[in-house]
Amino acid sequence: MSELSGEAAAHRAGPSDAAVVARLLHDFNTEFDTPTPGAVALTRRLESLLAESNTIAYLIGEPAVGVALVTMRSNVWNEGPVALLDELYIAPPRRGQGLGSALIQRLVSDAVDSGVSVIEINVDEEDVDAQRFYERHGFRGTDPDTGDRAFYYALEL
């Protein structure tokens, strides 16, 4: 799919968009019964994070109905930074219209332009729809060198 125009064009959010990004992230967690600190707390955090270069958000729609949140980090194994796609959310009534694909395309395009070495994402095992979506866009749940399944582990502190 080529770059979409008009309402379907993804654009990079700035600190002034923090409340919109926060609302969408809060809606995402609420939809899936995941804890959220609330839109007000998220807005406060995003106002400062989006002013820095290592947190990026993309919005899509007018008004915005989708968001992609990305954090960047350096890594000893890669020449360029590593991008972690922390969240990708499209409001339920707008799913299946190519908006998620437009967000991914913008992320990949910007990542290539800025020298990112790899984009990572964590997907829940039971979320096969998300797995298929990301695989359609070239992501793999296996180690590229060995073909072994990749796993994500976390220790919440």
Residue 31 tokens read as: 């939809």
Report the C-alpha gap between 79 and 109 in whole angstroms: 18
pLDDT band at residue 153 using 50, 70 and 90 as cut-offs: confident
3-class SS letters over 11-53: EECCHHHHHHHHHHHHHHHHHCCCCCCCHHHHHHHHHHHCCCC
| Per-residue pLDDT at 122 exceeds 60 | yes
The domains found in the chain, sorted by start residue, are: 6-121 (3.40.630.30)
pTM: 0.91
Does the CA dihedral 123-155-52-150 come out positive or negative?
negative
